[in-house]
Amino acid sequence: MRLRACCVYSLGLLCILLLVAGIAMVLSQVFQKLLNNMIKKQMVLENGTEAFSVWQNPPPPVYMQFYFFNLTNPAEVLNGDKPSVIEIGPYTYREYRPKEDVRFMDNGTRVQAVNPKTYVFQPDMSRGSEDDLVRTVNIPAVTVMEKFKDSFFSRFISDLMKAKDVGVFATHRVGDLLWGYEDPLLKELSVFVPDDHFGLFYKKNGTDDGDYVFLTGRQNYQDFARIDEWNGQRSLNWWSSDECNMINGTDGASFHPIVTKTEKLYIFSSDLCRSLYALYESDVNVRGVPGFRFVPPSAVFANVTVNPDNAGFCVPQGNCLGSGLLNASVCKEGAPIIMSSPHFYQADDKFVQDVFGMNPKKEDHETLIDINPLTGLLLRGAKRVQVNVYTRQIPAFSQTGSIRTLVFPVMFLNESVVIDEESAVKLQAVLTEANVLLNVPFIVISAGVLLGLAFIVLMCCQQRPEASAAERQPLLSS
Ligand SMILES: *[C@@H]1O[C@H](CO)[C@@H](O)[C@H](O)[C@H]1NC(C)=O
Ligand SMILES: *[C@@H]1O[C@H](CO)[C@@H](O)[C@H](O)[C@H]1NC(C)=O
Ligand SMILES: *[C@@H]1O[C@H](CO)[C@@H](O)[C@H](O)[C@H]1NC(C)=O
Ligand SMILES: *[C@@H]1O[C@H](CO)[C@@H](O)[C@H](O)[C@H]1NC(C)=O
Ligand SMILES: *[C@@H]1O[C@H](CO)[C@@H](O)[C@H](O)[C@H]1NC(C)=O
Ligand SMILES: *[C@@H]1O[C@H](CO)[C@@H](O)[C@H](O)[C@H]1NC(C)=O
Ligand SMILES: *[C@@H]1O[C@H](CO)[C@@H](O)[C@H](O)[C@H]1NC(C)=O
Ligand SMILES: *[C@@H]1O[C@H](CO)[C@@H](O)[C@H](O)[C@H]1NC(C)=O
C-alpha cells in the first residue's frame, strides 16, 4: 500500500512540475527565442553557407514581362483627339541575375559584388514575338523637340524631321524598342547627342548597374543582405536627382528574418528611379508556405496635398504632377519620361480618363511582395511599372499638331518571381521542425494535464476499496 501511495503522490508532483514548467516556457518564450537564434545564425552571408549560395545565385526563375500600348488613332491624336490604345503582350524574358566579383570586406561584415542581368526571350511564355510591330510615341523625336524647343536650331531640326518623315509617333519592332535600334533622327544629330541608338533597355542585357556593397548580417541579423552602398554612395533613404536613386532596402531577393506585420519594407530598384516601401496587407500561402503580403500603400503614390513627404519627387522643385506619377526625366537623359503604376493604378483618375484603353486593376497592376515571416525568404514578388511620355504641343515644331497635353502610356513591365518547388519543399520542412519546437511547451503542458487526470483517477480508485476508516488511518499518518 505504501509504495502505491508514494507512486500516486509522485505522479501528482510530476504533474504540477510539468504544468509549471510548461507555463513558464510559454511565458518566457524560451523556444521562440531558441528558434529565432537558430534562424539568425543561419542568416549571414558567409562563404560556403546555404544562405550565401542562395544569395549569390537565387534558384527561383525571375521573369520580366513587357506589355506595350499599340496606338490605333495617331492622326486623330495629332488633331487633338483622345488617344486610343490596345495592350499587347506579354513579351516574356527569363532574367538571370547572379552576383559576380564577390569580395568579402571588413572581417566578413560587408561583401562587395556586381549584379549583372541577362535577359533571354521565352517564346512559350509570350503572346507574340520580338518581331511584332508597335506604334507608339517616338521617344527620341519627342525628346529632341523638348530639348531644342527654345533653341536657335529648332527651325533646322524641324525641317530635318520633315525631310526624314519623322513625327511624334513611329512604328518599331518590339525587340528594337526594348533592346535598341539606330534612330535616323539621332543619327543626323550625332554631334549633339551621345549615342544615336535608342531602346528602353538599350545596353541593359548582360550589364550590371554598378558596384554594390551589402551587409552580411554578421553584426546584426536585421541587416542580412541589406544594401549598404551603391556606386560608392552610402545607403541612406535619400534621393539624388543626379543619380536617380534612393537607396534603402535589400536587393529584393531576401529580407531579414522574423518579419513582423508592423514593419515597413524597403524595395530597392535602380530602374524605378526611386525606392518604394511596402506595408503588411494580408496573410497568403504560396506553394504551401505561409507568408505575409506587403504592398506599397497608396500614400506612396499620393499627391503632395495628401502626402507632403512626396514633395521630394516633384522635380524641378515645386512642380508636382499629381498622384501616382513620377517625373523620371533626369534619370533618362532628359527624355520626358514619367513613371507610374500600370494602367495608372492608384494615380489620379484624370490620367486613366485621358486615354481610351486604360483599365487599372489591383490584382494585375499592383507591386507586391510575399514573405515568409520567420525566415524572411521571398515567396513571391511582382514589380509592376509603367513608362509614359509627357506629350504636348510645341509651337516651334509643327509636327506636334494640336496634340493634347498628355501622360501618354507606352509600355509597362511585370518583373516577377515565385519560389521554386524544391525551395518551397525545403522551407516547409524547416517550418514543420520550427512548429514542433514551438509546440514543446504545449506538449509539456498536455503531458502535465494527462498525468493530472491519471492522478485524479488513481486517487478515486484508492478511496473505493478502503471504505473503512481504520484502513485509511496509516495512509494519512505516513
Ligand atoms: C569561397 O571559398 C572557395 C573555396 O574555398 C573559394 O574558391 C572562393 O573564392 C571563395 N569565395 C569568396 C567570395 O571568397
Ligand atoms: C578585424 O578583426 C581584427 C581581429 O579581430 C581586428 O583587429 C580588426 O580591427 C578588424 N577589422 C575591422 C575592419 O573590423
Ligand atoms: C542577352 O544576352 C544573352 C547572352 O549574351 C543572349 O543569349 C540573349 O539572347 C540576349 N538577349 C537579348 C534580348 O538580346
Ligand atoms: C500595332 O499596330 C500596328 C499599326 O496598326 C499594326 O501594324 C501592328 O500589327 C499592331 N501590333 C500588334 C502586335 O497587334
Ligand atoms: C532605411 O533602412 C533602415 C534599415 O532598414 C531603417 O532603419 C531606416 O529607418 C530607413 N530609413 C528611413 C528614412 O526610413
Ligand atoms: C490630391 O489628391 C486628392 C485625392 O485624390 C485630390 O482630392 C486633390 O484634388 C489632389 N490635389 C491636387 C493638387 O492634385
Ligand atoms: C520633369 O523634370 C524635368 C527636369 O527636371 C523638367 O524639365 C520637366 O519640365 C518636368 N516635366 C514635367 C511634366 O513636369
Ligand atoms: C505579371 O502581371 C501581369 C499583369 O500586370 C499578369 O498578366 C501576368 O500574369 C503577371 N505575370 C506573372 C508571371 O505573374
Best residue for ligand 7 mutational test, from 327, 337, 339, 354 (most atoms within 8 Å of Cβ): 327
Question: How are beta strands 133-137 and 181-182 bridged, if at all?
Answer: unpaired
CA 223 – ligand 1 centroid, Å: 22
CA 93 – ligand 8 centroid, Å: 12
**CA 268 – CA 252 distance, rounded (Å):** 7
CA 118 – ligand 3 centroid, Å: 6
pLDDT of res. 67: 98
User: Minimal CA–CA distance to 257: which of 434, 81, 7?
Assistant: 434
Q: Is the peptide bond before 360 cis (omega within 30 degrees of 0)?
A: no
CA 247 – ligand 5 centroid, Å: 10
User: What is the rounded average pLDDT for all residues in the chain?
Assistant: 86
pLDDT of res. 242: 31
pLDDT tens for residues 174-185?
A: 999 999 999 999
**CA 54 – CA 289 distance, rounded (Å):** 18
User: Minimal CA–CA distance to 296: which of 415, 381, 215, 225?
Assistant: 381
CA 235 – ligand 5 centroid, Å: 9
Which residues of the chain have a pLDDT value below 70? 1, 233-255, 267-276, 312, 464-478
Nearest atom (ligand 1) to Cα of 47: 1
> Quick check: CB of 248 below 6 Å from ligand 5?
yes
> Quick check: CB of 280 below 6 Å from ligand 8?
no
CA 106 – ligand 2 centroid, Å: 7
pLDDT tens for residues 308-341?
A: 777 767 777 777 788 888 888 877 788 999 989 9
3-class SS at 202? coil
> Quick check: CB of 322 below 6 Å from ligand 6?
yes
Q: Can you tell me which residue has the cell 514551438?
A: 438
CA 353 – ligand 6 centroid, Å: 16
> Quick check: CB of 303 below 6 Å from ligand 7?
no
Residues with CB under 6 A from ligand 1: 47, 102, 104
pLDDT of res. 271: 55
pLDDT of res. 248: 40
Best residue for ligand 8 mutational test, from 416, 419, 420 (most atoms within 8 Å of Cβ): 416
Please name which ligand lies nearest the alpha carbon of 109.
Answer: 2
> Quick check: CB of 133 below 6 Å from ligand 4?
yes
> Quick check: CB of 251 below 6 Å from ligand 4?
no
User: Minimal CA–CA distance to 133: which of 96, 184, 169, 93?
Assistant: 169
Beta strands in 372-448 (DSSP E): 378-391, 406-418
- Nearest Cα residue to atom 6 of ligand 4: 133
C-alpha atoms less than 13 angstroms from C-alpha of 183 in its C-beta half-sphere: 28
CA 214 – ligand 2 centroid, Å: 18
> Quick check: CB of 310 below 6 Å from ligand 6?
no
pLDDT of res. 253: 47
CA 93 – ligand 3 centroid, Å: 10
> Quick check: CB of 106 below 6 Å from ligand 2?
yes
User: Minimal CA–CA distance to 97: which of 257, 242, 207?
Assistant: 207
Please name which ligand lies nearest the alpha carbon of 104.
Answer: 1
Task: Assess contact for 42 and 430: CB atoms under 8 A.
Answer: no
Task: Assess contact for 111 and 213: CB atoms under 8 A.
Answer: yes
- Nearest Cα residue to atom 7 of ligand 1: 47
Phi, psi of 106 (to 5 degrees): 50, 55
CA 58 – ligand 3 centroid, Å: 19
